[in-house]
Amino acid sequence: MGLNKVVTNADEAIKDIQSGATLMLGGFGLCGIPENCISALVRKGVNELTCISNNAGVDDFGIGLLLQKRQVKKMIASYVGENAEFERQLLSGELEVELIPQGTLATRCMAAGYGMPAVFVLAGVGTEVAEGKETRTFDGKEYLMEYAFNSDFAIVKAWKGDTQGNLIFRDTARNFNPMMAMAGKITIAEVEELVQPGELDPNFIHVPGIYVHRIFQGTDYEKRIEQRTTRKK
């Protein structure tokens, strides 16, 4: 069936990702990251990757696993504070890093998904982020022109999805996943629960299946918590 986008597992989903590819990876911190696909990329051993993701994981989880194996050539992110190995590779010059404001990161993904070549934003005006960028003035205010991302693959994690690729996210694990799903030339979605068409209410789909090329039910989600904060009963 032409609309069945199901692949068997993460290894199958990422099998044509080659060294040197540009990847978008959903998630905020370790929340809502595509754990299964990251592990599969580590197993496949592709390298020279450019990764677009809000964060770079921690030393031994998330994108940190790819960094440990030196599989990442360039990281495009907004905040990388939780990863000592990242900092070491950056300061030693082994890793290229482009830090960009978080809202600009989200909007450059969104622009790609919406078919817009660029957007104009205020974030970074007057700072080193503005260096070398075209600007334009609207109503007396200067804006930076920021280009849509150009990514070979987008890899996202959803809560539920159906075989046609419709996706629903849970709580703040949504974060960057929807706009990255829309932005990939090829989008791979791993889900906690894969269901048949008709089982998800069309009124509550966060990402329509048109954006998703491959989907599979993930396994063994660890869902590690970075900052466990609680109050007493």
Contact status: 223 vs another protein (CB under 8 A):
yes
Residue 23 or 173 having the CB closest to another protein:
173
Please, what is the minimum distance in Å from the beta carbon of residue 200 to another protein?
17
Cα dihedral sign, 55-56-59-60: positive
Considering only residues 105 through 164, tell me which ones interact with another protein, judged by CB under 8 A.
105-107, 109-110, 121-129, 159
Total interface residues for another protein by CB under 8 A:
59
Is beta strand 22-25 parallel, antiparallel or unpaired with respect to 135-138? unpaired
Contact status: 229 vs another protein (CB under 8 A):
yes
Contact status: 213 vs another protein (CB under 8 A):
no
Residue 195: Cβ within 10 Å count:
15
Contact status: 77 vs another protein (CB under 8 A):
yes
Rounded Cα–Cα distance for residues 155 and 184 (Å) = 8
First to last CA, the chain: 53
Encoded tokens for 54: 């809000």
Contact status: 46 vs another protein (CB under 8 A):
no
Distances (CA, A) of 54 to 60, 100, 134: 17, 9, 24
**Angle (nearest 5°) at CA 117 between 168 and 32:** 25
Contact status: 205 vs another protein (CB under 8 A):
no
Residue 109 or 188 having the CB closest to another protein:
109
Residues that bind another protein (CB under 8 A): 28-32, 54, 77-82, 87, 90-91, 97, 99, 101-107, 109-110, 121-129, 159, 169-179, 206, 223-233
